[in-house]
Structure 1
Amino acid sequence: MALNLADRSVSAARCPEGRKDVLLFDDALPGFGLRVTSGGTRTFIFQYRVEAKVRRMVLGTFGAELTTAQARKKAESLRGQVRDARDPVAERRAVRIAAAKAEAAEKAARAAATYTVDAMITHWAADHLAERSDSYANRVPAELRRALAEWKKAPADGFTQADAVRTLDAIKTERGPIAANRLRAVARACWGWAVKRGALASNPWEATPRPARETARERVLSDAEVGALWTAAAGLDAPMSSIVRLLLLTGQRRGEVAGMQWDELHLDAAMWAMPGNRTKNGKPHSVPLPAEAVALLLDVKRRRGAVLVFEGARETVPSGFGKTKARLDAAMVKAAKEGGRKLPAWTLHDIRRTVATGLQRLGVRLEVTEALLNHVSGSRSGIVGVYQRHGWEREKAEAVKAWSAHLLRCAEAKPKAAEDAAKVADMAEHRARRGKRA
């Protein structure tokens, strides 16, 4: 329907009964129209064609936004654009899309500026490390922050592969290639977590060269070295003397022994029960204590209100294991020279491997050794780990008793007892096999 659109005719226009709306077009300006709804709303429009498609644009509402003359002026401008082979609807849509993209980019830039390396490490630790032991969850983010101190306040997405390589080179120079390997593994895991969550587009650590090749350590202390270490530990100051001897007696991890808490100990039952948040694999772990370990712990003076058995400075877990190791080395080198031997390089973690190997030599079953050391590998993984729920408590108690006896014999310079025990175990196994054949 066409008519001369003016304020008077627009005000008088009505929507026919029974219809939702009606379109009225101006008889002088092609495409200029008015939409009248059944509710009385009057909206100016401009309609045109692009090839076979009809385009329609809203100009505004009569009265509240536009007069008829103002709407006609807008329509005339749009009509001129159409005559110039332009598409006002497409152009307006393109402007809206560009504005939305610009706003999104600005928002992303603001988010990137606030998602710093430090913030990423915080989120990663809270989410990814929540199920790890407390000591690991606290230590690893702190070490990562120290290594990346220069970038802590920088946007995480601005950290490049070149930055990663430079950081690894610096750590390799300052602390050695193994420390650089550890940093690379932890940083790659942190950035990888952020990529998987969509917070970052790429992981700059993924393509970095590995600082050094590593081979699995195989160092096991000999019986003479075990005896020398036990004796050397007696010369250390408290609490390191007790800590090193407990490492030898129990085979547990250094952080677990150093961070031992009073509420974990049940000395009347000769038992040490660690909760999952204190173990490497996150599983609760019970350690039977031999008489020598109980005696060591009974000698520790407990401060009122103390949580830790071995408190360091500021009521924290003891530190300074590097100096402790140096003192032990000096004492053991002296003992080795007196015995006409040399002392190969060793680490405190080698104690754990030494205990495991010693238990095997004493005839302890592999499942019992792994249960005692809280180590999940071939014998306790897969379907066995799911369905095997025997805790080996009695066997573990017997194992630590046998090991402590062997340890004291080593300290008394009688290591041959270990060989004798192994021979006895072999003989017993041989007799058992022969009995089955019979």
Structure 2
Amino acid sequence: MSGINNKKRKTPPNRRRLTSLYVSKAVPGKSRIRTWDTDTPGLVLQVEPSGAKSWYACYRRNGRPRWFRLGSVGGLSLSGAREAVRMLNAKLTLDSSFDPQAEKIASRTAGTVADIVDRYVSGHLEKLKSGEQAEYLLRRFVVPKIGKLVAAEVQPSDIRTLLKTIPSQSIRHQLLANISGLWNWSIRNDLLPSSMNPATGIEQRKPTARERVLSDAELPMFFHAFDGASLIAGRALRIILYTGQRPGEVRQMRWQDLEFGRHQFTDDKSNTYASDGAWWTLQGRPSEDGTWPGTKNGQSHRVWLSKPALRIIEELDEERSTARGSPFVFPGRAGHPFMSLDASMRQICTALDIVKPDKVTPHDLRRTHGTTTTSLGFSRDQMNRIQNHKEGGIG
């Protein structure tokens, strides 16, 4: 019993001797229609679904078919198209290096990297929800470094040199993917030769979980993305960054633990001064009413709220009337604290087109606070005291 061949057969080319009457009456279909002229080898009439009709010369170079547009049917007659293809065929026969389509592409690629970034943004990224982040990365890191280079002449070594200037592994991973996407789109749209993508084959070491902190370039992107989250989630995530406290403790911040007013301070030289603001007290032990779980290490702790953090708390204080008397600064449902910081951060990463292993968790915001604190010249011991955790890692 013979088997059934399920392999899809290619539709044979539509060939016929073209006439002016046939060309004028050719009607569009649901997809592009091509008709090969049997009178002049290589001449093709192409009819788009929109009804647009064009003349093409089809020839082969390096074992691959090439399609060279001669012009529109309205601007070039059948006899003129036949004559153009005959002349083209003669040149192709006499000169094996002659490739008019490649020359056409080369004339388009005389532009710089900055030029193709502009076209990529307007022709592709502006249509994507995640396009804003990709545009930011390309304009922030690629254009200033290699924007003036001729795009068709960029080499893998140029991309490697560019990536070495970026300290964040996460940014390097994202940027490499966006550079590859830029070149692939440009190749598909005949802006660059199909044989080159300088990002191909370049590998980057993946960051470990403990290394995941937001870079200086990522911070503004995430602050902007927080505005797209819910009002409660966006504000809570900002407080984690501003204070460096554990996400669970921020989530369960209570109004009764905030002390607003004018407070006295004494500096290391015994000078006393006053400042308006608020202390947040985190009790080491759980509260009797169950609304506070106690700190992770069981040690009571106080946090002075910076001005950006205080503004968020004051905004929430003005909205307390809508929280139905909740004891929590970040209220959730049925009298509970807000429960979905992890889910909110996953949604933010999705919106920013950040995937594993580069996804960011609420705890990574705390880690970012700690890394930033030490980078500003504070000791690790001072950072540990600010974040209320024991030596050995940010927990």
TM over 0.5: no
TM-score, normalised with respect to structure 2:
0.38
Which entry has the higher C-alpha Rg, 1 or 2?
A: 1
**More helix by percentage:** 1
**More strand by percentage:** 2
TM-score, normalised with respect to structure 1:
0.34
